[in-house]
């Protein structure tokens, strides 16, 4: 295959080696009563968003869940993943290869980057009773592969949840400290998955890096959240945070009603954010998936534009990203958010 000399296109292949985990710290999450009032909801619109801490007397969820004040602009930013027919990541494309349609109208791209830039990553780890045994051990070991493959300057937030969502690590670049915290986690109690994701979105939006992602490790079940599925789904659609779901399902889970429901929840949450959900069937496959996500984050494009037909009507506006492959390359596939809310007052 011959590529143009002026712009090489690099395709990232996924290696398949396995790392061992070498950290031992005991952690025991205690469940708390569900007695506080639901915190104030976030409001959000076109990305990027900047947040400030809410009132001092505001209720909190777990160790911290502040309702941020979102400052909107009319600059729409997208995190775009491009793959070939074999699912391999394609980087090195020029800005001219991309076309952005906002409500079917072509837009002028005003910001473009394909740098291997660091990410603010929220690791959301399910430690409820449904994640006991081999599930949590395999997920913890695979997380080591993700951290080893990630950018050395990535910033991590660690949130664990059972009956409550708790922030265990805030803004650390030490991936080993994330693993340390999860070495001897004891699983128990109910599942507040939606609350944990809500907290994760709010934390990474305060991160140091413009590129933001959530890594949700769970069986997808929720039975103890204050926030609803629809409220979390709306927040993900409004934010510039990409969610990746890793469904940790046992053999019996896969065909059960709860297992199917969990898969559907993870699929939908990942899809609306521009991310993807995975459901590994073995420990080896789980290792490869975690590494695949780390590589994807390092081979994405950041694209920004100011809509020529913007209107402060608060409505959902559809976006479509197209890519034209260079001569000699076959068809390429694009994954990105499908739209945004035009919040009044944001322009």
pLDDT averaged over every residue in the chain: 79
Q: What is the pLDDT of residues 78-109, one digit of tens each?
A: 999 999 999 899 989 999 999 999 999 999 99
Q: What is the CATH number of the domain that holds 251?
A: 3.40.50.410
Q: What is the pLDDT of residues 38-68, one digit of tens each?
A: 444 433 333 333 333 333 333 334 333 443 3
* Neighbouring C-alpha atoms within 13 Å toward the C-beta of 219: 30
Residues 85 and 186 in one domain: no
Q: Which residue has the higher pLDDT, 30 or 105?
A: 105
In a domain, residue 208? The reply is yes
Phi, psi of 239 (to 5 degrees): -90, 175
Whether pLDDT at 23 is above 60: no
In a domain, residue 33? The reply is no
In a domain, residue 30? The reply is no
Residues 278 and 309 in one domain: no
Residues 188 and 58 in one domain: no
Amino acid 250: pLDDT: 65
Residues 51 and 110 in one domain: yes
Residues 205 and 167 in one domain: yes
Rounded Cα distance between 126 and 136, Å, is 8
In a domain, residue 220? The reply is yes
Q: What is the pTM of this model?
A: 0.76
In a domain, residue 341? The reply is yes
In a domain, residue 31? The reply is no
Whether pLDDT at 339 is above 50: yes
Amino acid 17: pLDDT: 31
Residues 154 and 212 in one domain: yes
Residues 158 and 264 in one domain: yes
Q: What is the pLDDT of residues 227-262, one digit of tens each?
A: 999 999 999 999 999 999 999 876 656 667 767 888
- The alpha carbon of residue 329 and the mean position of all alpha carbons in its chain are separated, in whole angstroms, by 29
- pLDDT band of residue 136 (cuts 50, 70, 90) is confident
In a domain, residue 17? The reply is no
Residues 108 and 145 in one domain: no
Buried b (16+ CB within 10 A) or exposed e, 261-270: ebbebbbbbb
- For the record, the structure tokens of 226 come out as 């204050």
What is the SS3 assignment for the chain?
A: CCCCCCCCCEEECCCCCCCCCCCCCEECCCCCCCCCCCCCCCCCCCCCCEEECCCCCCCCCCCCCCCCEEECCCCEEEEEEEECCCCCEEECCCHHHEEEEECCEEECEEEEECCCCCCEEEEEEECCHHHCCHHHHHHHHHHHHHHHHCCCCCEEEEEEECCCEEEEEEEECCHHHHHHHCCEECCCCCCCHHHHHHHHHHHHCCCCCCCEEEEEEECCCCCCCCCCHHHHHHHHHHCCEEEEEEECCCHHHHHCHHHHHHHHHHHHHHHHHCCEEECCCCHHHHHHHHHHHHHHHHCCEEEEECCCCCCCCCCEEEEEEEECCCCCCCCCEEECCCEEECCCCCC
What sign results for the dihedral spanned by CA atoms 77, 117, 199, 243?
positive
Residues 171 and 282 in one domain: yes
Segment 109-130 shows an average pLDDT of: 93
* Neighbouring C-alpha atoms within 13 Å toward the C-beta of 311: 8
* Contact status, residue 120 vs residue 155, Cβ threshold 8 Å: yes
- For the record, the structure tokens of 57 come out as 């007397």
In a domain, residue 23? The reply is no
Residues 305 and 291 in one domain: no
Q: CA–CA distance from 27 to each of 62, 144, 160, 161, 301 (Å)?
A: 15, 18, 10, 12, 37
Amino acid 10: pLDDT: 43
- Domain count for the chain, please give it: 2
Residue 141 lies in domain: 117-295
Segment 123-144 shows an average pLDDT of: 86
Amino acid 21: pLDDT: 30
State in Å, rounded, how far the first CA of the chain is from the last one: 46
Q: Which residues contact 233 (CB under 8 A, 6 or more apart)?
A: 268, 269, 272
C-beta atoms surrounding 105 within 10 Å:
10
- pLDDT band of residue 117 (cuts 50, 70, 90) is very high
Segment 107-125 shows an average pLDDT of: 95
Residues 152 and 289 in one domain: yes
Residues 157 and 283 in one domain: yes
């Amino acid at each position: 295959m011959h590529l143009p000399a002026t712009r090489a296109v690099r395709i990232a292949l996924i290696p398949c080696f396995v790392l061992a985990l070498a950290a031992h710290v005991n952690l025991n999450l205690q469940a708390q009563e569900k007695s506080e009032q639901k915190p104030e909801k976030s409001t959000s619109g076109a990305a990027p968003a900047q947040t400030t801490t809410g009132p001092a007397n505001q209720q909190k969820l777990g160790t911290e869940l502040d309702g941020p004040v979102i400052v909107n602009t009319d600059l729409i930013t997208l995190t775009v993943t491009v793959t070939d027919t074999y699912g391999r990541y394609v980087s090195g494309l020029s800005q001219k290869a991309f076309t952005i349609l906002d409500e079917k109208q072509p837009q002028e791209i005003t910001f473009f980057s394909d740098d291997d830039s660091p990410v603010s990553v929220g690791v959301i780890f399910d430690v409820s009773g449904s994640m006991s045994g081999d599930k949590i051990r395999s997920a913890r070991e695979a997380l080591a592969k993700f951290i080893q493959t990630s950018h050395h300057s990535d910033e991590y937030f660690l949130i664990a949840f059972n009956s409550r969502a708790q922030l265990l690590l805030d803004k650390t670049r030490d991936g080993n400290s994330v693993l340390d915290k999860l070495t001897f986690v004891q699983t128990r109690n109910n599942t507040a998955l939606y609350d944990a994701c809500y907290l994760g979105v709010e934390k990474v939006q305060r991160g140091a890096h413009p590129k933001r992602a959530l890594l949700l490790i769970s069986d997808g079940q929720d039975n103890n959240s204050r926030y609803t599925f629809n409220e979390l789904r709306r927040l993900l659609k409004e934010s510039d945070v990409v969610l990746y779901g890793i469904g940790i399902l046992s053999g019996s889970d896969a065909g059960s009603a709860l297992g199917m429901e969990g898969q559907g929840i993870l699929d939908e949450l990942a899809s609306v954010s521009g991310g993807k959900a995975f459901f590994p069937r073995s420990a080896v496959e789980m290792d490869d998936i975690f590494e695949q996500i780390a590589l994807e984050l390092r081979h994405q494009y950041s694209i920004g534009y100011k809509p020529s037909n913007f209107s402060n009507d608060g409505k959902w506006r559809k976006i479509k990203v197209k890519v034209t492959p260079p001569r000699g390359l076959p068809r390429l596939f694009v994954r990105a958010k499908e739209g945004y809310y035009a919040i009044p007052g944001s322009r």
